A and B are shown apart, each in its own frame.
Chain A
């Protein structure tokens, strides 16, 4: 691969998807989080449920402060599923609802999930989101119980027209998380196949990267030596989150320049 870090795929494959996020470019605008929400039919849960720490957002901007008061500097950290090579969430699922796909993605099979939430417990990043209610079902079973009287988070008609047809909506009781916009990866690969070639660098871009105004997010195939992520992954500014766990994540953060 030409880079010293390993990405555990355990298979010889043309593709190994990696995202590089340049924290020095990130200004915390949150466009990535919004576009992720729109692209992936992520439920908008409303104020009340959000305050219960049940936000469904697959991508969030974490805000940290560096330095001692008053000389502090705010830094932002876009956090989504890190697609670990040695993903701790995978072996603990009793039904294989989450597994490692040949392209190194940490895949989530919604239909198979029974909601033991063990994967969420074993994720050190806290990026797995659980469907506490039926966020897409308009039916209000328990209207007479005040706490559940109004499902203000449901996409009521005709708002449901804005849902992305490429992405399924999720039932209550199952886990979900960032997929690296797997529907876009599939489309990119399909198009490349139609044209009889392999995927080129820049063919595929997840929604977050597409909407990032500063271009902090780069996505690509690290197995392709000419790709942008391949050269960025060799950067001296690179680091991975919670590296001590040895999870071989597929998201690489760049920080420390400028």
Chain B
């Protein structure tokens, strides 16, 4: 047995080497599971983003924190002065805040959903990306959950929305889509946090073991690992529970964005009042979410050098998913516009023509994104190029933000009563808060990476165990074991 001192030295990952290493292109572009990687090397590379804190990270995080602080100050200003500091008016009661809310709820959709779908279908390439995707869900939901609070006129009375028993029999109105929304988002945030934590548990235990003695991270790893030892019985329970969670998170996720879409669809506002909104929003959410996962994975590769764990093949597989979603999404655009155009409802036509005149550029930017995504991702070469994928996925999310904005704003400014027609442009305060929220998401993610293992190490290890190269004549084919085959 190695003594404690030996263990410490041996377990300290060699970070300088990790930083300087030149990534072998063959490894980065290689198959999904690298069978030649040693156990030590797997641990070190997976934990590298946590332990290796560069100056660039500090600069990045501090600049994010300052944007967040500015956004928070803007919010404080809005609370004290009144909602008037936002450029909302009569009758554009909802504006950038709600659009941003819908955007972040949308982004939250794919993380947990992609993760649970890939777990359930036992896709073998899923392994390294699960944690990054699940963390994206939780953090984007945290960001999204702030926006109803930012949006309400009297933040200090927001607890009226909660079902708190009181002697005056004051109760929230559960008929309101906002009450459903609050329920659904609370449920989804709880479920996806649990999902994230259950996935983290073995990796926290692993980080606890690999942490050098007296290292500050060891304290909270020890507490959060709950004494996990990885006994076979624990693993059996763990696998069953993760499967169960995956199924039920998958049941919750679509309901959440359907309910968000009902915030709009349940009203009698033209354009909003349509049955297509439920599936339309869910598909849009998965679309923007998958793009978000790809963007984050590419960033993880670039910033934290996870090239050997998260490989091009993972990005390529995810982008196939994105391609599928973009085709479905384009179909929804088609249906949405076609039906509204064919019905030729004057109130809807008024909104559409206003949208065309006022937001024509935005609309074309949004629509062309679909075309570019479908055409681009059909090329194997583009699917295998992180730079191109980064550009496409960033554009997808920009287009999806515009899409949410165009759902909320043009309708309200030109609705039924022509006398009330007006215009709306977000104010400086609104833009500051939206940017602050954007920075807040990345700040949470950047801090999370420093505190928790960002790679699903236990799953990668299982992949190594269950994968083999089988010789067929003069070549090799990759085979993946299924533990339930026997």
User: In the complex, which residues 418-451 of chain B have their Cβ closer than 8 Å to any Cβ of chain A?
Assistant: 419-420, 422
A172 x B268 contact (CB < 8 A): no
Distance, CA A30 to CA B161, complexed state (A)? 39
A142 x B81 contact (CB < 8 A): yes
Contacting residues, chain B, for A242 (C-beta < 8 A): 416-417
A118 x B153 contact (CB < 8 A): no
B153 x A113 contact (CB < 8 A): yes
A91 x B176 contact (CB < 8 A): yes
Given contacts A94-B176, A114-B161, contact A141 B153 (CB under 8 A): no
* Distance in Å: Cβ of B91 to nearest Cβ of chain A: 4
Contacting residues, chain A, for B152 (C-beta < 8 A): 114-116, 173
A94 x B154 contact (CB < 8 A): no
A132 x B175 contact (CB < 8 A): no
A121 x B154 contact (CB < 8 A): no
What number of A residues sit within 8 Å (CB to CB) of B? 49
B485: interface (CB < 8 Å): no
User: In the complex, which residues 262-293 of chain B have their Cβ closer than 8 Å to any Cβ of chain A?
Assistant: 263, 266-269
Taking a contact as CB atoms closer than 8 A, the residue among B81, B172, B268 that contacts A95 in the complex is B172
Taking a contact as CB atoms closer than 8 A, the residue among B83, B170, B177 that contacts A115 in the complex is B83
B179 x A116 contact (CB < 8 A): no
A121 x B412 contact (CB < 8 A): yes
* Distance in Å: Cβ of B410 to nearest Cβ of chain A: 13
A92 x B178 contact (CB < 8 A): yes
Q: Chain B binding site: helix, strand, loop or mixed by DSSP?
A: loop
Given contacts A62-B419, A124-B415, A171-B154, contact A131 B82 (CB under 8 A): yes
* Distance in Å: Cβ of B75 to nearest Cβ of chain A: 14
B93: interface (CB < 8 Å): yes
Distance, CA A99 to CA B13, complexed state (A)? 64
Contacting residues, chain A, for B416 (C-beta < 8 A): 124-126, 242
* Distance in Å: Cβ of A132 to nearest Cβ of chain B: 3
* Distance in Å: Cβ of A149 to nearest Cβ of chain B: 12
In this complex, what residue of A is CB-closest to B179? A94
B353: interface (CB < 8 Å): no
Contacting residues, chain A, for B82 (C-beta < 8 A): 131-134, 172-173
In this complex, what residue of A is CB-closest to B413? A53
Contacting residues, chain A, for B87 (C-beta < 8 A): 52
B83 x A141 contact (CB < 8 A): no
Question: Most B CB atoms within 10 A — which of A53, A64, A88, A93?
Answer: A53
The digit string for A68-100, where 1 denotes a CB below 8 A from any CB of B, is 000000000101000000001001111110000
In this complex, what residue of A is CB-closest to B412? A121
Distance, CA A116 to CA B148, complexed state (A)? 8
B340: interface (CB < 8 Å): no
B173 x A95 contact (CB < 8 A): yes
Contacting residues, chain A, for B92 (C-beta < 8 A): 53
Distance, CA A57 to CA B176, complexed state (A)? 27
Q: Could you show 11 A-B contacts with beta carbons less than 8 Å apart?
A: A53-B422, A60-B419, A88-B268, A94-B172, A94-B182, A113-B154, A118-B267, A124-B416, A141-B81, A172-B83, A172-B154
